[in-house]
Structure 1
Amino acid sequence: MGAMALIMGRVVDEIFYKQSSGQIFWICGAVITIFTLRGLGGYAQAVILAKVGNNLVARYQQRIFDHLMRLGVDFHTSVRSGRIAAQINANVGGIRDLLSQTLTATARDLVGLISLVAAMLYQDPVLSIFAFLIGPPLIYAVNKIMRRLRSITRSAVNVNSRLVGAMQEATQGIAVVKAFTMEDQLSRRIGTLIKDAEARNNKMNRIAERVTPITEMLAGFAIAGIIAYAGYRSIYAQQPPGGLISFITAFMLAYDPARRLARTQVGLERSLVNARMIYEILDLKPQQGDAPDAPSLDVSRGEIRFEDVHFGYSEELPVLHGVSFNAEAGKTTAIVGASGAGKSTLTALLERFYDVESGTITIDGQDIAKVTKRSLRNQIAFVSQQPYLFEGSIADNIRYGREEATEAEVLAAAELAAADGFIREQPQGYDTQVGENGVTLSGGQRQRVSIARAIVRNAPILLLDEATSALDTESEARVQDALATVMQGRTVVVIAHRLSTVVNADKIVVLESGRVVEEGTHQSLLADPHGVYTRYHRVQSSKGLGLVDDIKRAPVPAKRAKGGAVV
């Protein structure tokens, strides 16, 4: 760019002022060469910067995902997934802009500005100093704008992430939305977030764009002053116009990179806010770390023992109070109790999704808090009451249980889970894509796929948290038969609400308000006519209830609402 400014002086002096025809060829050739090199350089720069920016985004996405996988369940249950995904996407894009703007400003604008300033100083040092007078007020204005921009950028990112999270939440729960005619309610709620996001983005743009009128005004004063001074010298001092034309050309060409650099500084401040928000996530430390030099869990028999375990999700919400029981190796232990008794919490602690506050949990005498979490979870197959399927095919979702599982093992697991029949009826069989969270499958079908995933894991310990709750009677019977085969020789812990699913368990542990109140077999527990388990059984047998949650409700006379409905 500096060369182009200098050659403009030669054009004016040699061609228009001295009218030297011999210089036309060389000057035109120089102009073609300069623009050709400039075009090739711009292409190479754009390609390289895009490649570097895309690589940066890819590495940050991988780094963030790996870090999120290391964070505990407590983090993921406290943060909405849609919101954090939107926030990460916006902030990673901001980091790409940060690098792109920095490299662009350094490689193109700053280098070009330096060459043009050098050309200006070469042509006229006095005029150059006059032109530089716009620098201090411009720097002051940009710094003031950046301070205003920091807080509004952070709030705008937060609002936009809330908006995207709310939209994702609404689309994922579309069946509930339709069933409860929530469209208008959600539309008003989303509309409020949209207006808030729009207002904040508009405010952010208004603040950022203040650089433009300030820069233009200062540049206008500088250019007007230079033209006045140059005209005075040309008219009264009779100086050749080439040098002044070259200077004005250099200044005019320098204006664009200088303006972009001023805007870049504002853009960098916005991107730095994004970078800080990303590192706030990356700086989070997992609450559950493996102990230094923790060994791998060695499961020989699979005996599980809870000893005086206390736990609460917060200090204000204690859940377990001195829970102690033993799940014998190779046998089935059922945990029953009302909602809130702490049943699912026991499985979460056994998987080390959380650490106990006091007490110990051991497997074959090994404290699970002192072994690596990966080795612990590799020895456990888990079926939750809320089956979750991932993007991919049905076979992929089964193979998540054990990545190296063969096709024959996948098919065998599906057959044991009573899933092979409906899978083969799908358009592409085992290669059928399940959609978002298995939306193309029914609840019972999703549950059977998740059971197949647990079966193919071939782990010595099996956790079943209401594993058949989503199945119809026929499918439940088939899966129960299949599980009976799979459970042989394994240590099985079953969480159950319906007592009919645990009558054959080797041991039943009854929880109430976070405490073990009874233990024994189905028959031995029924032998106590005043026992908690007997009360559960009596209520479910007489009322036909499938959920233990209803046992504490005293019978009340039915009332009829208007229209004859029983309430």
Structure 2
Amino acid sequence: MFGKKDEATRKTDEVISVIRRVYRENGREFIREYAVAIACMLVMSATTAYSAYLLKPIVDNGFVAAEWAALYGYCAILVAVYIARGFAIYWQTVMLARVGNNIVARYQRRLFQHLMRLDINYFTANRSGQLAAQISQNVSGIRELLNMTVTTAAREIPTLLSLLAVMIYMDPVLSLAAFIVGPPMIYAINYLTRRLRKLAREAVDLNSRFLGAMQESVQGIAIVKAFTMEDVLSDKMSSLIERAENRSNKIASVSERMAPVTEIFVGVSVAAVLVYAGWRASREGVPPGSVIAFIGAMIFAYDPVRKLARLPVQLERALVNARMIYEVLDTEPQQGDAPGAGPLAVEKGNILFEKVRFSYAEHMPVLHGVTFEASAGCTTAIVGPSGAGKSTLFALLQRFYDLDGGRILIDGQDISRVTKHSLRSAIAYVSQHPYLFEGTIRDNIRYGRPDASDAEVEEAARLANAEEFILQQPLGYDTPVGENGVTLSGGQRQRLSIARAIVRNAPILLLDEATSALDNESEAKVQQALERVMKARTTLVIAHRLSTVVNADRIVVLEEGRLVEQGTHRSLVRKPHGVYARFYRMQTERGENLLDEAPVDSDA
């Protein structure tokens, strides 16, 4: 017994806590709008109660006593009351809509800004499509929570109380009957609220999974069709849709169970009052005005009673949405700047990996004490089989993750002791799979440096060998790129990615398999662009295709997370049993020719 009571108390405290938080974060911003809306709601409550009260003099003086002048006067007052009510409804609705729309916009901005601060780990653990769908569904929960609590406190409760006052004034005996049904209704509401809490969260989760899967299927439509996955995905989606439909049907069934109860109550009550009024009028000759006014007040009271009866159920659904939004907002970044961290000062761009150890999961190490130096202004290539830890080094250099051990130094500064923003601002990154964002070609290049001028953007495009195809687009630089640049070829997207890196004008350049997915012609153009951007920069290159790193100043060879060799192409290829030489022989039969073409160096 005490366990259930403690659980109920805990849930009540949780509800109050969420509501307080919502008002604390939003209430002060909308005091004026809420003041206008509340004043309008109070006018609505007063006019509703006064409309019911006017029924008594209208019936007694106008119909029973046939005083037509009085009837006309009361009817004129009734019209004025409804005019005032109409304007009150209009301004209340407009004000609450403005507040609600602003709240949705505020939380959308806040959620996006917060998501941008979270670590890579968070997005690895949460599917992006499902996360986006869940946020889009739940952000309206805050608005609904605010609107419901305000309208309940300022409209429904005052309206009900004023109508009860009219009922008691008209007939105290009949009014007592209205309170008899209170306890059973409260019990029914509590029961339905408990049932709905779990159902609402399950429904939100299922709908977000469906929308997320839908988004991923659309984004990957080429793969879907290439692998004839249409039927498999359709079956999967049908299963999710069916489960979401069943859950929504269950919610509708549970949340609407109050409707027949309240309808039966109103019907029986009105019938009983009419019988009583008829009996009293025939036996005692009492004018029916007070009873008609009582019935009017009781019928008017049905609407706030119905809304108040449904409030806990609707409130629970809004609370589920609000809680899920706050679950995202309350997620703290696991990787912050160190206390007292200052900006990174890059003078030369010398990079040192010193005994770097790292693992993505416990007892699953990826790097084992890797040490090497990427000299300032030089090109360092990182090669090795898949899973050797090449891309992990890039991720660690950009501080997407923190090290398990060791250090990474840039010009002698430990990157864990500088701000992440200053660190990443000093790095330009070109991915194997270039990603283009919503907007135009110009926008996507300018993302490298938002304050870049149009002239700088266009110069970067020329250096990236991209201007030729850009000018062939319908609107040139102002052509929308489509979803992830779907209207552009792989080589064109990659050259835009390189232009983005050029306009960033960062002293450190990271190239992650920048040409591996391109045809020979596109690769030649991209490679030419890369040679321009690599000049006078510290460049780290990840490459599977060894022909692209023959001229690197230094080549670092990784295998199973360990550095096994380093040197130049000429020195490494001459080690017959070396890992690099083995890769080289696997990839080409022109080893002697390339060796002859490679520049002579001090390691030979």
TM-score of the pair, normalised by structure 1? 0.94
Q: From the superposition, tell whether residues 225 and 330 of structure 1 become closer, same or farther in structure 2 (CA, over 3 Å).
A: same
Q: 1:260-304: per-residue Cα shift (whole Å, max 9, x none)?
A: 121122111111011111111111010111112210111111111
Amino acid at match of 2:445: I
1:219 aligns with 266
1:203 aligns with 2:250: yes
Q: How far is 1:21 from its partner?
A: 2.0
Kept in 2: contact 1:134–1:222 (CA 8 A)? no
- Equivalent position to 2:416, from 365, 369, 385: 369
1:259-274 correspondence to structure 2 within 5 Å: 259-274=306-321
Amino acid at match of 2:147: S
In structure 1, what is the Cα distance between the partners aligned to 2:368 and 2:130?
A: 35
- Equivalent position to 2:105, from 53, 58, 75: 58
Amino acid at match of 2:134: Q
- Equivalent position to 1:138, from 171, 185, 189: 185
Amino acid at match of 1:40: F
2:478 aligns with 431
Kept in 1: contact 2:447–2:500 (CA 8 A)? yes
Q: Classify the secondary structure of the residue corresponding to 1:362.
A: strand
1:247 aligns with 2:294: yes
Kept in 2: contact 1:447–1:470 (CA 8 A)? no
| Unpaired stretches in structure 2, ≥5 consecutive residues | 1-47, 592-604
1:411-426 correspondence to structure 2 within 5 Å: 411-426=458-473
Q: How many residues align?
A: 544
- Equivalent position to 2:146, from 95, 99, 116: 99
Amino acid at match of 2:192: I
1:516 aligns with 563
1:466 aligns with 2:509: no
- Equivalent position to 1:121, from 168, 188, 191: 168
In structure 2, what is the Cα distance between the partners aligned to 1:477 and 1:397?
A: 23
1:229 aligns with 2:276: yes
1:562 aligns with none
RMSD, matched Cα? 1.4
1:499 aligns with 546
- Equivalent position to 2:449, from 378, 402, 423: 402
1:272-311 correspondence to structure 2 within 5 Å: 272-311=319-358
Deviates more, 1:97-106 or 1:155-164: 97-106
Q: Classify the secondary structure of the residue corresponding to 1:265.
A: helix
| Unpaired stretches in structure 1, ≥5 consecutive residues | 545-567
Kept in 2: contact 1:416–1:479 (CA 8 A)? no
In structure 1, what is the Cα distance between the partners aligned to 2:261 and 2:534?
A: 75
Amino acid at match of 1:79: N
- Equivalent position to 1:4, from 51, 60, 65: 51
Q: 1:400-427: per-residue Cα shift (whole Å, max 9, x none)?
A: 0000111111111111111111111111
Kept in 2: contact 1:418–1:475 (CA 8 A)? no
Kept in 1: contact 2:266–2:299 (CA 8 A)? no
In structure 1, what is the Cα distance between the partners aligned to 2:283 and 2:568?
A: 114
- Equivalent position to 1:190, from 228, 232, 237: 237
Deviates more, 1:257-266 or 1:40-49: 257-266
In structure 1, what is the Cα distance between the partners aligned to 2:351 and 2:465?
A: 29
1:535 aligns with 582
Q: How far is 1:108 from its partner?
A: 2.9
Runs of 4+ aligned structure 1 residues displaced above 6 Å come to: none
Kept in 1: contact 2:491–2:526 (CA 8 A)? no
% same residue: 60
1:482 aligns with 2:529: yes
Q: Classify the secondary structure of the residue corresponding to 2:68.
A: coil
Q: 1:134-187: per-residue Cα shift (whole Å, max 9, x none)?
A: 221111111110100010110111111111111111111111111121111111
In structure 2, what is the Cα distance between the partners aligned to 1:322 and 1:30?
A: 88
Q: How far is 1:543 from its partner?
A: 9.7
Deviates more, 1:108-117 or 1:56-65: 108-117
Q: How far is 1:507 from its partner?
A: 0.7
Q: 1:302-355: per-residue Cα shift (whole Å, max 9, x none)?
A: 111111111111114321111111111111111000000000000001111111
TM-score of the pair, normalised by structure 2? 0.88
1:334 aligns with 2:381: yes
In structure 2, what is the Cα distance between the partners aligned to 1:361 and 1:504?
A: 25
